[in-house]
Structure 1
Amino acid sequence: MYTIQDLYDLNHTLAKAYLEQFTYPWEALKGIKELILTLGPSLSDYEEIARHVWVHPSAVIAPTAYLGAPCIIGPDTEVRHGAFVRGSALVGAHCVVGNSVELKNVILFDHVQTPHYNYVGDSILGYFSHMGAGSITSNVKSDKTLVVVKNGCETIETGLKKFGAMLGDHVEVGCNSVLNPGTVIGRDTNIYPLSRVRGQIPAHSIFKTQEDVVVKKK
């Protein structure tokens, strides 16, 4: 339930070869910056609009958006007014980075939407995943200890101080939800609005509360 293979179809990201090196997705977080710096110069159909900022010509970038280096913005992606891409962001094709959205050290697969007031840091968002308005990834624990991934009584040490959330393909996060550090959400899962989510949430489920997670009806 935790692995890259469980969560993602790697055919929908420029990071495919990079992610294939790892078992767990959070293992990839430390190398995102170096991945972008290596990958960017090889993208012959992209334009380097500023040092270490590569943007596909079909992307639409609002004049008030900030693109921090290094980053890659894919084809037909829209970066809207007031977006703040702090850097180390690999954004795929047909994505939306909306108003007042902040991205930092992330991989967004193709067709990801972060359209309104989202903070996404130290996270990987899978194909066609969607962050509802105001939903955020919390990437540092309040006591500043290292993040662990939990599933009931089982824990996996990550060795990371900064680790937001891993969203599988087709995950829907409801408005104003908080994904606590080390959250892993399986494919095709829906998170209710105003949720506080932590730990591992199974694929094909509906998260109502931490104690009320149900399997989707087929």
Structure 2
Amino acid sequence: MPLFTTRAIEAFPIGNILLREHHAAFTIEDLRTHPHAWLTGEDVALLKADGPTSLVDERRTPLAWFGEVPDADKAIVANKSFLIVHPWDLLRANELLVGELSESKVEGDIHPNAVIEGFIHLGPGSRILPGVFIEGNVIIGANCKIGPNCYIRGSTSIGDKCHVGNAVEIKNSILLSNTNVGHLSYVGDSILGEKVNFGAGTVTSNLRHDGKNHRTDVDGVLVDTGRRKFGCIVGDGVHTGINTSIYPGRKLWPNTSTRPGEIVQRDRVTNE
């Protein structure tokens, strides 16, 4: 997968915090965790020394446990925790994290002519310019420029030193640091890696005409993502030409590119 060729799953940021750092927040003595598990406090609280000692997913894969090894006889199935295997699992984790924000934390500047409807975490040095409309909960890192005149919808996470510009709509997506979506673009239910640049008018599609779940190629097999809305997965360093259109569920590997006006119908592994 494009995103996992340049970083381990446990080193992927969710809400701008590495997955392994989310695990470190569970300061419970003797608790062990699967490095690729997304864990909720609600589920971890189910584990007790005199009760269930292992948290598992619906396939009985251990997610968190007390002791040297998980005890299958003292296992409980998680309600919201799950194992991150595919990139779209990152979207699911991000939705849970950002969707459950209960207060805003603003360290940057928000112009009085911007509208925020929801909770926002805005990092230091970041600026939200006039005409920006943020609907739902959003996390934005440090030293970002947002706007003018763009639309950001929950649950979206934007890393550090990113630019989301004029007439751009971002919906339920993850943008890693140093990524730019500058002009006239739509990014929906997608993940963009680091140092990605979307040329003006680049548009992702995220909905099938028949409304069915999206499927995407994984090692030559079409896999059901379980998602009715699913855009694209873009690796680090990808550049798109102006007016690029990307089919749903397509993946662009790191450092690939598109030509102006190109329609991306298949995964892009190389530029050849």
Q: Which structure 2 segments of 5+ residues have no match?
A: 23-34, 38-83, 111-115
Tell me if 1:5 matches 2:4. Answer: yes
Letter in 2 for 1:25: P
Tell me if 1:66 matches 2:66. Answer: no
Q: Secondary structure at 1:159's aligned position in 2?
A: coil
Counting only pairs closer than 5 Å after superposition, residues 98-109 of structure 1 correspond to structure 2 as: 98-109=165-176
Tell me if 1:145 matches 2:212. Answer: yes
Q: Deviations over 1:50-92 (max 9, x none)?
A: 7411112311111211122200111110011111012211011
Match of 1:16 among 15, 18, 23: 18
Task: Find the aligned partners of 2:6 and 2:264 in 1 and give their Cα distance.
Answer: 17
Tell me if 1:30 matches 2:30. Answer: no
Contact 2:199–2:239 (8 Å) recurs in 1 = yes
Contact 1:122–1:139 (8 Å) recurs in 2 = yes
Q: CA deviation at 1:200?
A: 2.4
Structure showing greater radius of gyration is 2
2:261 maps to 194
Task: Find the aligned partners of 2:223 and 2:252 in 1 and give their Cα distance.
Answer: 15
Letter in 2 for 1:32: N
Q: Secondary structure at 1:156's aligned position in 2?
A: strand
1:210 maps to none
Contact 1:4–1:24 (8 Å) recurs in 2 = no
Question: Going by fraction, where is strand more abundant, 1 or 2?
Answer: 1
Q: Which structure 1 segments of 5+ residues have no match?
A: 207-213
Q: Secondary structure at 1:32's aligned position in 2?
A: helix
Q: Deviations over 1:152-208 (max 9, x none)?
A: 953222121110000001011111011111011111111112111133221xx22xx
**Relative contact order, CA 8 A, sep 6+: which one is greater?**
1
Contact 2:201–2:243 (8 Å) recurs in 1 = yes
TM-score by length of structure 1 reads 0.82
Contact 2:3–2:236 (8 Å) recurs in 1 = no
Over 3 Å counting, the alpha-carbon distance change for 1:121 and 1:143 in structure 2 is same
Q: Deviations over 1:97-155 (max 9, x none)?
A: 01010011011000010000110010000000111100011001122221111379532
TM-score by length of structure 2 reads 0.67
Which shows bigger deviation, 29-38 or 90-99? 29-38
Task: Find the aligned partners of 1:51 and 1:153 in 2 and give their Cα distance.
Answer: 41
Tell me if 1:95 matches 2:162. Answer: yes
Task: Find the aligned partners of 2:236 and 2:133 in 1 and give their Cα distance.
Answer: 27
Q: CA deviation at 1:45?
A: 5.7
Over 3 Å counting, the alpha-carbon distance change for 1:153 and 1:24 in structure 2 is closer
2:147 maps to 80
